[in-house]
């Protein structure tokens, strides 16, 4: 499939004004394809001569195409481009009729049959350039148009779209006409949905899911609506422009590749957010944040849309920042920035230190394939961090004033970074353009380190900076009470601009200096010797969870940079995590400790001791929660106790009894976790997996069974799993991921050794056949992360040099290989 280049998009935008799409979809044509009929009305501008252009469409069969009533030869379709030649200035009408393929990879029109009840659902995911899989289009974000959509569906289905839909009889549905929107934002979700509806501020609100998830959606419906209403009202307090669409539906759809998608009026979410097993309050907070994030897009992304994909940060960074900030302001989840600090921000730090890093706002994204690669920790987490720093520097009043100027200037149109900065500049006397150059056009992570000088009674603080960005930070000065278990108490929090030429007087030497206290900037921080020693004994006593998040991130960075041995990190976790009260911190620290420190950064010889440390830590957390007052903390501890089990006895007994002693009882999610770990340890078999699948025949159960079967330490099981992933194209995106998650296990390195060299050629082949979504899964989940050795690194480097993987896989492999090289350096540093 040909990708659209920036130059081609700019040329087409100079030639055309696109006014209206009439789209008719027939979803009753069978299991493989659906019918698509499109009528596009557009104008060639008067200041152009007779010209040629093209429309994108990727059909199973192109049946007919007519331009201004004249037939076009379907055989002239070149990959995904249908040429439109000799266009004269003035109005034109293009009609395209085609059969389109359903997808099983979450791209285009995805089709899913629920194994729980046999019901079928379809939904669109048209981002970034997948519109052409559903209907013919001039597929670029700056050719906005008005859309009219009709759909024919089976009689018992409901059809959802960007506007209110009306059933006109005999399975025919008509959606309300949209305001001008970009092609990638058109959405359809059709099936026998279970729906809960309400109204707010005169607008219809709805939430929708598969019928088999109905009881779980109903149980959470009031919470979902409460979050939605709270965020909706808060955005109307922040923004002068009212919500620009006629309804607000939220559909929880199966096998969704992203967390959610901001289709105007019809946001689609992965349906794991309909919780069918026990979850922590942090998971509920994450769901609330995603709701807030997608709602922010209704203004920033949908009302005002980027002109080209180099400004994707204008969509995602803004929504990420607003999602966390508005969740904290408008819902019961007031500690969202702690979760951001320990889960999202490291995503940005990691991405920004790889060779594939890019500016938050890159100056030239050449084509759509390149653009797709930039939906990463930089566009989301780093960009949101930059905006949080901007608000700290600019002030929220001026920031929101600039945002509202931006909406007023560009509503229902497109805008660039320059437009955005100009809008902010109109609301302040500060040099926003210089700030943007320093923060948005540069790459990499600055490092800040404290230096305390002077006599004991008259100390001064200097912040040394490695990097070039200006930072406005808070600095926490903490004293330590050695008679109270080393408890650290805040003496003073200083506001400081970095770089600062002169030292800042701080009086008596504090026990601990925490730079970027409150996490308002984006930088790695270091500790001086005295501060690090105070942390060893007093970390858990720091009073503010956001401060503790900053400290834990700094320790994480030190491990990744080879400055703190992974075993030392595990010892600090073992000492302090049993006393931690913030669930996001407990889960985040345990996740890094197990998946990175124990699985990759320690040597195979050290790994048993690392797992034993984590097992003891989880056991302490479970004992601490025996009173039943901390169910979320207990659930986290149980999950990680399962994941780090080196011996099967305890968790096998839990599975047999159906409960953890003292609770919780095992719901489907915990049962599949235990069975997966038992599979890894060789303590279960195919018969037990089949029995569990009969107990839980849901889509999640199918994924659990695939994961368990791939994890069995049996040559035949490994061969079957490998063939399913790489020799056939039968697995959906979710089943591919589940199989990949089970396949590689550190405990089974010898068993799967021969698959490591096979991986690269076969991943390249499956990515080329199945496209970007499977390429992403193959690079992320099927990569042999356990093989931390020079041979694996060399094989991967040879693949990048010689095998020409498609861009989506190339990017994932480059990132994985950089992480692999880092793990080797960390191990090497630990031996000296």
The two tokens of residue 220 are 């959470």
CA distance linking residue 192 with residue 433, whole number of Å: 51
Tokens 């697995």 -> residue: 731
Please, is 463 exposed, middle or buried when counting C-beta atoms within 10 Å of its C-beta (0-12, 13-18, 19+)? buried
The string of DSSP letters for 284-323 reads HHHHHHHHHHHHHHTTBTTTEEESSGGGHHHHHHHHHHHH
Q: Which sign does the torsion angle of CA 570, 574, 576, 582 carry?
A: positive
CA 691 to chain centre: 33
Residue 483 CB: number of other CB atoms within 10 A?
7
Name, in order, each residue with C-beta under 8 angstroms of 42's C-beta and a sequence gap of 6 or more. Answer: 16, 17, 18, 19, 91, 92, 94, 138
Asked if 111 and 105 touch (Cβ cutoff 8 Å), the reply is no
The pairing of beta strand 304-306 with beta strand 413-415:
parallel
Quote the Cα angle for 818-809-607, to 5°.
Answer: 45
Distances (CA, A) of 332 to 204, 230, 269, 290: 24, 10, 21, 15
Tell me, yes or no, if 626 is annotated catalytic.
no
Whether the bond between 235 and the residue before it is cis, its omega within 30 degrees of 0, is: no
CA distance linking residue 810 with residue 101, whole number of Å: 26
The string of DSSP letters for 205-234 reads EEEEE-GGGHHHHHHHHHHHHHHHHHHHHH
The string of DSSP letters for 399-424 reads HHHHHHHHHHHHTTEEE-HHHHHHHH
The string of DSSP letters for 314-367 reads HHHHHHHHHHHHHHHHHSS---HHHHIIIIIHHHHHHHHTSTT---SS-S---B
The string of DSSP letters for 648-679 reads SHHHHHHHHHTB-TTS-B--HHHHHHHHHHHH
3-state helix, strand, coil in the chain (%, to 5): 45, 20, 30
The pairing of beta strand 504-507 with beta strand 524-525:
unpaired
Residue 350: half-sphere exposure toward Cβ, Cα within 13 Å: 23
Whether the bond between 498 and the residue before it is cis, its omega within 30 degrees of 0, is: no
Instruction: Give me the catalytic one of 272, 294, 335, 580.
Output: 294
CA distance linking residue 547 with residue 493, whole number of Å: 11
Rounded to 5 degrees, φ, ψ at 645 are -65, 125
Length of the chain: 832
Three-state secondary-structure class, residue 458: strand
The string of DSSP letters for 691-729 reads HHHHH--SHHHHHHHHHHHHHSS-HHHHHHHHHHHHT-S
What amino acid positions are annotated as catalytic residues?
294
């Amino acid at each position: 499939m040909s990708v659209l280049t920036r130059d081609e998009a700019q040329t087409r935008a100079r030639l055309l004004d696109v006014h209206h799409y009439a789209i008719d979809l027939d979803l009753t044509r069978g299991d493989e394809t659906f019918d698509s009929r499109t009528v596009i009305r557009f104008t060639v501008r008067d200041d152009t001569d007779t010209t040629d252009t093209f429309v994108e469409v990727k059909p199973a069969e192109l049946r007919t195409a007519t331009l201004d009533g004249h037939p076009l030869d379907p055989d002239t379709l070149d990959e995904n481009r249908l040429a439109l030649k000799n266009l004269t200035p003035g109005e034109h009408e293009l009609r395209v009729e085609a059969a389109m393929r359903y997808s099983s990879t979450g791209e285009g029109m995805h089709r899913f049959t629920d194994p729980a009840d046999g019901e079928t659902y379809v939904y669109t995911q048209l981002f970034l350039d997948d519109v052409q899989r559903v209907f013919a289009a001039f597929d670029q974000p700056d050719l906005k148009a008005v859309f009219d959509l009709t759909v024919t569906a089976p009689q018992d289905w409901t059809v959802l779209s960007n506007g209110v839909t009306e059933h006109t009889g005999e399975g025919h549905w008509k959606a309300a006409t949209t305001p001008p929107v970009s092609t990638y934002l058109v959405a359809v979700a059709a099936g026998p949905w279970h729906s809960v509806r309400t109204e707010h501020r005169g607008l219809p609100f709805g939430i929708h899911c598969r019928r088999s998830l109905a009881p779980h959606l109903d149980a959470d419906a009031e919470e979902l609506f409460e979050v939605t209403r709270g965020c909706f009202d808060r955005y109307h307090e922040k923004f002068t422009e009212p919500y620009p669409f006629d309804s607000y539906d939220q559909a929880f759809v199966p096998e969704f590749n992203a967390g959610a998608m901001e289709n105007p009026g019809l946001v689609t979410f992965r349906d794991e957010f309909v919780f069918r097993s026990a979850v922590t309050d942090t998971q509920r907070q994450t769901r609330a944040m995603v709701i807030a994030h997608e709602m922010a897009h209704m203004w920033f992304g949908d009302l005002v849309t980027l002109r080209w994909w180099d400004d994707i940060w204008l969509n995602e960074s803004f929504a990420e920042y607003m999602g966390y900030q508005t969740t904290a302001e408008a819902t019961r989840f007031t500690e969202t920035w702690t979760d951001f600090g320990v889960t999202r921000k490291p995503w940005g730090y990691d991405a920004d230190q790889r060779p594939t890093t890019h500016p938050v706002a890159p100056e030239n994204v050449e084509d759509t394939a390149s653009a797709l690669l930039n939906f990463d920790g930089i566009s989301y987490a780093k960009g949101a961090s930059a905006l949080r720093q901007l608000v700290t520097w600019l002030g929220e009043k001026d920031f929101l004033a600039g945002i509202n100027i931006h909406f007023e200037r560009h509503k229902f149109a497109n805008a660039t970074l320059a437009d955005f900065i100009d809008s902010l500049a109109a609301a302040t006397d500060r040099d926003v353009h210089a700030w943007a150059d320093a923060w948005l056009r540069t790459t990499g992570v600055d490092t800040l380190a404290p230096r305390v000088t002077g006599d004991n009674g008259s100390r001064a603080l200097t912040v040394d900076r490695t990097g070039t960005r200006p930072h406005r930070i808070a600095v926490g000065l903490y004293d330590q009470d050695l008679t109270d278990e080393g408890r650290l108490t805040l003496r003073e929090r200083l506001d400081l601009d970095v770089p600062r030429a002169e030292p800042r007087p701080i009086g008596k030497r504090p026990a601990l200096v925490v730079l970027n206290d409150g996490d308002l900037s984006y930088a790695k921080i270091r500790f001086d010797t005295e501060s690090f020693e105070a942390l060893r004994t007093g970390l858990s006593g720091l009073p503010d969870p956001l401060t503790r998040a900053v400290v834990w991130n700094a320790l994480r960075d030190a491990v990744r940079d080879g400055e703190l041995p992974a075993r030392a990190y595990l010892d600090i976790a073992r000492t302090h995590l049993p006393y931690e009260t913030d669930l996001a911190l407990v889960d985040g620290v345990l996740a890094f400790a197990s998946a990175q420190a124990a699985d990759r950064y320690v040597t195979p010889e050290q790994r048993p001791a690392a797992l034993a440390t984590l097992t003891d830590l989880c056991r302490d957390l479970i004992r601490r929660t025996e009173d039943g007052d901390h169910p979320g903390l207990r659930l986290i501890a149980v999950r990680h106790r399962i994941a780090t089990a080196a011996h099967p006895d305890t968790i096998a007994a839990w599975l047999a009894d159906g409960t953890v002693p003292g609770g919780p009882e095992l719901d489907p999610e915990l049962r599949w976790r235990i069975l997966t770990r038992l599979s890894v340890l060789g303590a279960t078999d195919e018969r037990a997996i089949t029995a569990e699948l009969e107990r839980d025949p849901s889509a999640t159960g199918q994924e659990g069974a695939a994961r368990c079967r791939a994890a069995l330490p049996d040559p035949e099981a490994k061969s079957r799993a490998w063939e399913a992933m790489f020799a056939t194209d039968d697995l959906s995106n979710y089943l591919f991921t589940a199989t990949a998650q089970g396949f590689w296990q550190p405990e089974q390195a010898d068993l799967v050794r021969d698959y490591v060299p096979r991986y690269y050629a076969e991943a390249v082949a499956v990515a080329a056949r199945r496209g970007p979504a499977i390429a992403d899964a193959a690079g992320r989940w099927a990569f042999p992360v356990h093989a931390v050795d020079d041979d694996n690194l060399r094989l991967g480097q040879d693949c990048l040099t010689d095998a020409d993987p498609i861009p989506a896989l190339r990017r994932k492999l480059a990132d994985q290989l950089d992480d692999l090289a880092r793990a080797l350096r960390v191990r090497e540093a630990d031996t000296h």
